[in-house]
């Protein structure tokens, strides 16, 4: 039987029911309620920030040697591994994702804590060149309290990508999970609380604060004790957060939306490209910021390639995330499914041809669930809203191109710049195009592959800053310069 967390929040290191309004978490496969979670109030956010600032300043945490802090991070990773099957099942129930995917996300979360522990143990400050009678150093110190605000599509992995480096850097963290999918974040919070207690560390170093962004997220961003916010989510929300942060002169990192191009060159391995294009947009049911939702195919190859693609997409198996046969799971919530359906209706109005999908699947197996068929569209100009706006669902728009200049122009015709995929046997063309595409990540003959050691982030309206990599810890620290005088001579105005 699936264990779901009780309707509690972690406020200042203590588990309790939030003082705000209740919200139900729904199973996207059936529409059945999973749990009721009470939101926290703005006053509880302030309490968590106040206690977090005190905890971050305690010598037992502030002065903890890197290898001992790394030991704590390793323990979190072990606890995640030990509870991996429950965490995966919980995320599948809460988000609708297939178990094969949620198991991989849980493993990724554990790996993130382990990598961050290793990076912390080998991180170094530096002596810096100087020409005067002094020695100069550059050192890094914790910010104090940081906010982490995450979306609903991959909570356990997104949480780890913020919590691990923020804690490694010596901070206290206020984590706000998405309102639709708080359960796995609360479960992860329990594991981290266990590790803090085992190591004798202040419990208020972590708070998990469920609730709506307009209340909880806003309170986190505006609290004077919060020195940085890391946000993953929609571009409109990211802009509002950045405006609020500007009033405090507070740094932010923003990982925002995408409308990523996936490109098939004339010489591509067609079988490899077909499988890669489908995986790039229909895995996670398209609910991924890096989904390859705009397909560009050389005009000489276009009709045959798109025809083969449509034939295969029609055969994708739609079903609940708990079924091992499922390839396209339900969307996270009926309201989101309706938003995706509205975009496909808009595409029809814009003149699109619906080559496959474009509807809610029928039959008793889908009753009550938030399902939508994987959809392929074509016949649209590149500036159509369906080609420009992030749909965040299993919807692919196919467009032909004539030559490399035409391809680059069309691919870069977007306010977003998060990711790109290129399918080709020509390594020279791959390099040339990869360097010209405006995207933070480019995959060549693969897609949606990640390494915690490789920085990730976007260009243009896809965000600011980077997560992951060795510098991921430094993103949660402040840099300070120290000058150590070595001369006994007085300074010029001493006498």
Element (H, E) at 80: helix 66-82
Residue 421, H or E segment:
strand 419-423
Q: Is residue 65 predicted with pLDDT exceeding 70?
A: yes
> Element (H or E) spanning 401, and its range?
strand 395-401
Residues 6+ apart with CB under 8 A from 169: 140, 142, 143, 473, 474, 476, 477
Average pLDDT over residues 149-153: 94
Residue 131: pLDDT above 80? no
Q: What is the pLDDT of residues 365-396, one digit of tens each?
A: 999 999 999 999 999 999 999 999 999 999 99
Mean pLDDT to the nearest integer, 466-482: 94
Can you tell me the mean pLDDT for 330-348? 97
Both structure tokens of 373: 């068929």
> Strand runs (DSSP E) across 205-317, as ranges?
206-208, 226-232, 252-255, 261-264, 294-298
- Binned at pLDDT 50, 70 and 90, residue 126 comes out as confident
Span 265-276, pLDDT tens digits: 999 999 999 999
- Vertex 101 angle, CA 99 and 102, to 5°: 65
Among 28, 179, 175, 168, CA closest to 98: 28
Mean pLDDT across 436-452: 97
pLDDT at 1 > cutoff 60: no
The catalytic site residues sit at 255, 289
Place of tokens 């309102």: 179
Q: Which domains does the chain have, with CATH numbers?
A: 9-256+462-481 (3.40.605.10), 261-444 (3.40.309.10)
Q: pLDDT class for 331, splitting at 50, 70, 90?
A: very high
């Amino acid at each position: 039987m699936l264990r779901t967390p009780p309707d509690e929040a972690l406020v200042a290191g203590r588990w309790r029911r939030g003082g705000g309004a209740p919200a139900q978490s729904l199973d996207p496969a059936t529409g059945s309620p999973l749990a009721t979670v009470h939101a926290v109030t703005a006053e509880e956010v302030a309490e968590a920030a106040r206690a977090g600032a005190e905890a971050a300043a305690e010598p037992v945490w502030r002065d903890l040697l890197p290898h001992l802090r790394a030991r704590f991070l390793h323990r979190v990773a072990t606890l995640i591994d030990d509870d991996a099957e429950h965490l995966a099942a919980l995320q599948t129930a809460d988000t609708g994702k297939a178990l094969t995917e949620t198991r991989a996300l849980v493993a990724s979360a554990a790996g993130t804590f382990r990598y961050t522990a290793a990076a912390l143990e080998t991180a170094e400050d530096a002596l810096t060149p100087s020409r005067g009678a002094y020695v100069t150093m550059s050192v890094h110190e914790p910010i104090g309290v940081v906010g982490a605000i995450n979306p609903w599509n991959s909570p356990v992995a997104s949480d780890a990508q913020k919590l691990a480096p923020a804690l490694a850097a010596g901070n206290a963290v206020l984590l706000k999970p998405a309102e639709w999918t708080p359960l796995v974040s609360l479960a992860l919070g329990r594991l981290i609380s266990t590790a803090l207690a085992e190591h004798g560390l202040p419990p208020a170093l972590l708070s998990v604060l469920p609730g709506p962004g307009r209340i909880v997220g806003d309170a986190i961003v505006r609290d004077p004790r919060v020195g940085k916010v890391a946000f993953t989510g929609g571009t409109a929300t990211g802009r509002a957060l950045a405006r609020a942060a500007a009033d405090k002169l507070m740094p932010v990192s923003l990982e925002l939306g995408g409308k990523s191009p996936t490109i098939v060159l004339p010489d591509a391995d067609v079988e490899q490209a077909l499988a890669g294009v489908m995986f790039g947009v229909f895995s996670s049911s398209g609910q991924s910021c890096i989904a390859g939702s705009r397909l560009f195919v050389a005009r000489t190859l276009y009709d045959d390639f798109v025809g083969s693609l449509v034939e295969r997409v029609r055969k994708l198996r739609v079903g609940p995330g708990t079924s091992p046969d499922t390839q396209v799971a339900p969307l996270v919530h009926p309201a989101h499914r309706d938003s995706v359906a509205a975009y496909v209706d808009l595409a029809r109005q814009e003149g699109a041809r619906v080559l496959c999908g474009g509807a809610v699947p029928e039959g008793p197996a889908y009753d009550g669930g938030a399902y939508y068929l994987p959809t392929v569209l074509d016949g649209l100009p590149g500036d159509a809203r369906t080609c420009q706006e992030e749909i965040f669902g299993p919807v692919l728009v196919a467009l032909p191109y004539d030559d490399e200049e035409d391809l680059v122009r069309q691919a870069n015709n977007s306010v977003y710049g998060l990711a790109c995929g290129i399918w080709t046997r020509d390594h020279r063309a791959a390099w040339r195009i990869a360097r010209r595409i405006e995207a933070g990540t480019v995959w060549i003959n693969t897609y949606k592959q990640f390494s915690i050691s490789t920085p990730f982030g976007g260009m243009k309206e896809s965000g600011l800053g980077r997560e992951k990599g060795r510098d991921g810890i430094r993103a949660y620290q402040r840099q300070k310069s120290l000058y150590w005088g070595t001369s006994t001579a007085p300074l010029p105005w001493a006498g």
